[in-house]
């Protein structure tokens, strides 16, 4: 380094002289976790697997007609007659093009991921709304979760959690959780100051303010977050199929690897129809019909009306 040429060289090309071994740090760190803590990470699979098994049991071990009926009725109950009718058509089409079984596997995976997201996302969103420092801390992490290419964290997920459905759900949760946290946080922060002050003036405790004013008023925004989470989770299914997660994503991957366009399109159609259906259902839930209570809407309302009439019939 003493002769002037190499000093110049070091000044002009500093990257050739100093190298931060970031990649080997990461590799060593992950390797350390794998050798010492893999069993602990593996144990996370158990609750996820049991949740997944129960969904799959419900959706796959009952005859398709029954599942179709129940899902249509649920869509009608939650989101009104039109969406219910669309759901019936979409699910029938999925069945008739031969994608029923993988579609139900995908649906159970999405439902599991969404349940996990709700359990984590709503509390974290509320915490964010109530504490500025916590929000500051969480924001870069959320940015990372949403912008890191999925393949980057797919590798450590596989090394720590293994392959299969549960690790697939974990990777999906990482990807689908941020919008729910962000929108829960936003919804609660957007509740007008005056409303909160009024509640305070009436002597409400902080908990009462949260549960009885802030959350009810934030519900539409929170549900928008749920909607985003559901769609993100479904969108991940093709990527997670690479780590041995079955379902529609695997149908697409098989079509791609074998250059079988028809098969890939069948999987894609299934994903698209499921996405539209879940999108409509989660959007409509947000628009609460204040005219009628839940037991006066949907198939339950239809039955309730008939029962009322039967009760009030002429005793002759």
| Interaction site with other proteins (CB under 8 A) | 34, 38, 45-46, 49, 53, 154-155, 158-159, 162-166, 238, 241-245, 250, 253-260
Q: Which is nearer to other proteins, 74 or 101 (CB)?
A: 101
Q: Which is nearer to other proteins, 35 or 291 (CB)?
A: 35
Q: Which is nearer to other proteins, 27 or 205 (CB)?
A: 27
Shortest distance, position 35 Cβ to other proteins, whole Å: 8
Shortest distance, position 253 Cβ to other proteins, whole Å: 5
Answer yes or no: are the C-beta atoms of 120 and 71 closer than 8 Å.
no
99 DSSP assignment: -
Q: Which is nearer to other proteins, 83 or 263 (CB)?
A: 263
Shortest distance, position 242 Cβ to other proteins, whole Å: 4
Shortest distance, position 100 Cβ to other proteins, whole Å: 18
Shortest distance, position 167 Cβ to other proteins, whole Å: 9
Angle among Cα 238, 118, 207 to the nearest 5 degrees reads: 165
Single out the residue of 220, 213, 218 nearest to residue 287, CA to CA: 220
Answer yes or no: are the C-beta atoms of 147 and 271 closer than 8 Å.
no
Alpha-carbon separation of residue 74 from 63, 79, 93, 267, 299 (angstroms):
17, 8, 18, 24, 8
Q: Which is nearer to other proteins, 45 or 182 (CB)?
A: 45
Q: Which is nearer to other proteins, 118 or 244 (CB)?
A: 244
Q: Which is nearer to other proteins, 139 or 254 (CB)?
A: 254
Q: Cα 70 vs. chain centroid, distance in angstroms?
A: 22
Half-sphere exposure of 210 (CA within 13 A, CB side): 13
Shortest distance, position 21 Cβ to other proteins, whole Å: 12
Contacts of 39 (CB under 8 A, 6+ apart): none
Answer yes or no: are the C-beta atoms of 169 and 112 closer than 8 Å.
yes
Shortest distance, position 38 Cβ to other proteins, whole Å: 6
Shortest distance, position 67 Cβ to other proteins, whole Å: 20
Alpha carbons 83 and 77: distance in angstroms, whole number? 9
Single out the residue of 232, 243, 223 nearest to residue 183, CA to CA: 223
Q: Which is nearer to other proteins, 41 or 86 (CB)?
A: 41
Buried b vs exposed e over 270-299: b needs ≥16 C-beta within 10 Å?
A: bbebbbebbbbbbbbbeeeeeeeeeeebbe
């Amino acid at each position: 380094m003493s002769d002037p040429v190499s000093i110049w060289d070091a000044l002009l090309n500093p990257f050739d002289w100093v190298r931060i071994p970031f990649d080997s740090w990461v590799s060593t760190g992950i390797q350390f976790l794998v050798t010492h803590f893999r069993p602990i990470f593996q144990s996370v699979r158990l609750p996820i697997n049991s949740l997944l098994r129960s969904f799959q049991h419900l959706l796959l071990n009952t005859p398709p007609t029954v599942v179709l009926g129940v899902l249509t009725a649920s869509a009608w109950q939650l989101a009104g007659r039109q969406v219910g009718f669309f759901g019936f058509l979409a699910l029938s089409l999925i069945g008739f093009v031969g994608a029923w079984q993988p579609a139900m596997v995908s649906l159970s995976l999405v439902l599991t991921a969404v349940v996990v997201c709700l359990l984590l996302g709503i509390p974290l969103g509320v915490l964010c709304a109530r504490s500025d420092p916590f929000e500051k801390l969480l924001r870069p992490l959320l940015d990372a979760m949403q912008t890191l290419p999925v393949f980057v964290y797919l590798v450590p997920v596989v090394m720590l959690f293994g392959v299969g459905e549960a690790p697939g759900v974990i990777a999906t949760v990482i990807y689908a959780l941020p919008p729910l946290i962000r929108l829960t946080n936003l919804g609660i922060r957007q509740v007008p100051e005056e409303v909160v002050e009024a509640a305070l003036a009436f002597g409400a405790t902080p908990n009462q303010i949260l549960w009885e004013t802030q959350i009810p008023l934030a519900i539409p925004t929170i549900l928008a977050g749920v909607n985003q989470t559901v769609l993100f989770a479904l969108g991940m299914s093709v990527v997670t199929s690479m780590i041995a997660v079955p379902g529609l994503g695997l149908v697409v991957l098989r079509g791609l690897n074998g250059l079988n366009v028809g098969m890939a399109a069948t999987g894609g159609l299934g994903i698209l129809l499921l996405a539209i259906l879940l999108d409509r259902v989660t959007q409509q839930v947000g628009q609460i019909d204040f005219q009628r209570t839940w037991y006066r809407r949907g198939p339950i309302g239809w039955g309730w009306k008939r029962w009322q009439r039967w009760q009030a019939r002429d005793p002759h």
